[in-house]
A and B are shown apart, each in its own frame.
Chain A
């Protein structure tokens, strides 16, 4: 915690930013550097960690501590940093290739352990840095350099992996909404445990407009729903559409039609430990549903790094062995 008052500028590094003009990463960088002054952490205690890919150049551009590691390996680096030095605020920037393909194993285990780090996944549904191959989130059938006849692989929804691994925090946002991004990054920082923020991000060169059905001005109000804990799930240009539960399925309804009133609309409970509804919300997709934005899930659970510190304190308290000399002289020894 810090009393220092920071501004965005305090977090801008002296490195030249080398993303393509028009890349969605710029707005994510701006939102992060806008959010960091508000998380109450001294900048000496912040570490940004990444793997490989366009998103993974991120640590060079923030004036904090940082490690640009290997493809897919940001999560274990972050784990090592946080577990060994739990007072640090650790952030991971990664992409859909980095964390859904080569780093997929580390992704689920980070969440399973619930290590207190913040992971921002830039999902542009393409390999950008290697110039345009399909990724694990590329829509089925899309033509790319390695799928000239269309992909034949079913894509992951990152949220499904988070829910499957019983992740404790999942939020989704878009690179076209700086205000929403900033709010969500601050929420992620506040969460004690592993926070995953999926940012639907545009790759202007190799997958331009991949999210335009969600993000374009003309459609965004109808095609996104920004969920807030404790508030009704209402969306639409005229703020008259809502989500209801019918049996085991969600359904879009219009308030005022067919006798639907606002009272019928679901109220978002991000803190419900049972993730069933979070799972359904995170899976909503066009054209039948709006895409859910905001903090979809944020629940309290045991945090790995805290449990470890607690065990160490307990064992230290009980043990007679106070140093290595005590250890090597303990147990069976023989004096000859």
Chain B
């Protein structure tokens, strides 16, 4: 359907940002665009960026909801930097996103909405369509509202419903601009509104109207094409970090042949995990929406005691409330997976924004010597792998595990190569049989990994008590003996340290030694890798590494970090990981690069920092 008159430019990647009021359907347009991109064979990553208010005042800057999609013929590791194309449904959406647009970017906007009342709401003193402020951009100012109403005038739908289809007019223009297959966009609408045929019909008419409008419009001289990514082979789906986390936990419980129990309290941005698991009663998943964060984690500990995989999901403020319970899980040496979807803090902070500022809390936020395993996922899809790994380590090592993800991973999505579930590694918790010979002793350990054996209620003859009071080594009776306490503190610490023998070694990008190693952990992997790759392609000598295992660190960590003049640790906080590393490896020269804007790293800022650092060395 592409017009021959048009000049088609092939690009290897493109960033599209959809922005409008919360009710403008931007998440829907974004998902439509990303799903159809996936069908077209592009690699992709998405990142919704929305305010914490549900319906902030219409047309204002505080109400702007956005959805960014980064697609590529090449492999995509970030949600992209400044946008190549902006779809702005109102003046506020335009104003809000101007700072994040490439020079020369294309802006698709609804010219009908650029009238004095809305301009005023967005804080514009003059109409940007009439002054010179957009002269560096290609502006497609379409009367989207008028056109949509005209197309649907005969349908008998009310104006409010008609206006909800405006996003599809913009999508039609976008599909034309990017030479996308319109049929796929239509198929998406047919599936999305399968139960409401009248909405399928109206939306399909509007997206076609948008496409035709663009086709007939003399303003568009150049269209773009992003070819399929040939590295991607096999069966994929688009998945968010929270869904991947939920599924990873389900896969682990199935593999371990244990029931899955989630005790949780709704909290942004972790709630999707509770919601997703609540859907899966068909697989026997039990979710318990507790009266508070404390009851959430405590009920999960109870479920673990009784022989389930006990899990709780939360965000930073909730993790604070769970601290005492985590100590109980350490003391009772029961399996427990805590998923902390980090957000901007402290206190209530920035609930919908991303940050990596719960690391110290995860490592140390408990009374007493209370070590536990800390993992961090590094992409939306590997949330599945690390949720699985968290459950596996927790069950096999009889210890609580905190899995750190964050708002960026949790709400963002990417293509996920669907794994063969039967090939995931086995999970073997140290369960004992009924009537243990000589009587069950709860703190009898496997000498190799110091893991205690696990008896569960319902087993004959293994009656025993666990609890928060210090217990005697082996027997598990209450003990206040000083030397026993010293021994138990040591055993609990060593048990967690020994997990290093059971996890992957740390891997490295670039040479094993040199001037500069850049280090990240968790969700910054994509941005740091992309920046590193860019410098490498420019011929610069630089290495990079990303940590998923925080406590314990992989056994070769010191070896990896030791080969450089400088180790630059980049993180979205004030230096929590770098200080942890400094305490562990005092001889290594660490420097730090921190961002406290509750936004992910941009590749451009990392490239600049890496270049600056290299030049100074």
Binding site for B on A (CB under 8 A): 13, 15, 42-47, 49, 52, 59-60, 63-70, 73, 75-81, 83-85, 87-88, 105-106, 109, 308, 311-312, 315-316, 318-319, 321-325, 327-329, 331-336
Contacts and interface: CB of A to CB of B under 8 A. Distances in A.
A12 to B, nearest CB: 12
Contacts of B307: 84-85
A308 to B, nearest CB: 7
B39 A67 contact: no
Given A67-B465, A80-B306, A329-B418, A88 B458 contact: yes
Interface of B: 35, 38-39, 41, 191, 228-229, 232-238, 247, 250-251, 254, 259, 261, 263, 280-284, 286, 288, 290-292, 294-296, 298-308, 310, 324-325, 328, 332, 415, 418-422, 457-469, 477-478
A78 B302 contact: yes
A308 B306 contact: no
A83 B288 contact: yes
A65 B457 contact: yes
Contact of A329 (B235, B332, B468): B235
Contacts of B421: 323-325, 328
Nearest to A56: B467
Contacts of A83: 261, 286, 288, 299, 303
Given A70-B328, A85-B307, A323-B421, A60 B302 contact: no
Q: What 10 A-B pairs have minimum CB-CB distances, sorted nearest first? A: A80-B302, A68-B467, A319-B282, A80-B299, A84-B303, A76-B298, A66-B465, A76-B295, A77-B302, A315-B281
28 contacts: A43-B463, A44-B462, A59-B465, A67-B466, A68-B469, A69-B467, A73-B294, A73-B298, A75-B295, A76-B290, A76-B294, A76-B295, A77-B298, A77-B299, A80-B300, A84-B303, A84-B310, A85-B306, A85-B308, A88-B457, A105-B295, A109-B295, A312-B284, A327-B280, A332-B191, A333-B235, A336-B229, A336-B234
Contacts of B284: 312, 316
Given A45-B457, A80-B303, 18 more contacts: A42-B460, A65-B457, A76-B299, A80-B302, A83-B261, A85-B458, A105-B291, A311-B281, A312-B281, A321-B283, A324-B254, A328-B251, A328-B418, A329-B235, A332-B237, A333-B418, A334-B236, A336-B228
Nearest to B279: A315
Nearest to A60: B465
A44 B422 contact: no
Nearest to B417: A336
Contacts of B191: 332
Given A69-B467, A83-B286, A324-B251, A334 B295 contact: no
A45 B296 CA distance: 24
Contacts of B469: 68
A44 B463 contact: yes
A140 to B, nearest CB: 28
A85 B303 CA distance: 8
Given A84-B259, A87-B458, A333 B251 contact: no
B419 A65 contact: no
Given A84-B261, A105-B292, A70 B282 contact: no
B249 to A, nearest CB: 10
A47 B306 contact: yes
A91 to B, nearest CB: 12
B467 A79 contact: no
Contacts of A81: 302-303, 305-306, 457
A17 to B, nearest CB: 12
A64 B290 contact: no
A75 B299 CA distance: 8
A125 to B, nearest CB: 25
A103 to B, nearest CB: 10
A77 B422 contact: no
Contacts of A106: 291, 295
Contacts of B477: 15
A325 B463 CA distance: 37
B302 A336 contact: no
A333 B236 contact: yes
A199 to B, nearest CB: 21
A49 B461 CA distance: 18
A333 B191 CA distance: 13
Given A106-B295, A109-B295, A334-B237, A325 B422 contact: yes
Contacts of A335: 234-236
A80 B261 contact: yes
A64 B306 contact: no
Contacts of A312: 281, 284, 286
Nearest to A304: B288
The listed residue with most B CB atoms (<10 A of its CB), out of A64, A80, A106, A331, is A80
B251 A70 contact: no
A79 B297 CA distance: 11
A324 B232 contact: no
B302 A67 contact: yes
Nearest to B296: A76
B209 to A, nearest CB: 26
Contacts of A75: 295
Contact of B324 (A59, A70, A336): A70
Nearest to B249: A324
A63 B303 contact: no
Contacts of A79: 288, 295, 299, 302
Contacts of B415: 334
Nearest to A325: B421
A68 B234 contact: no
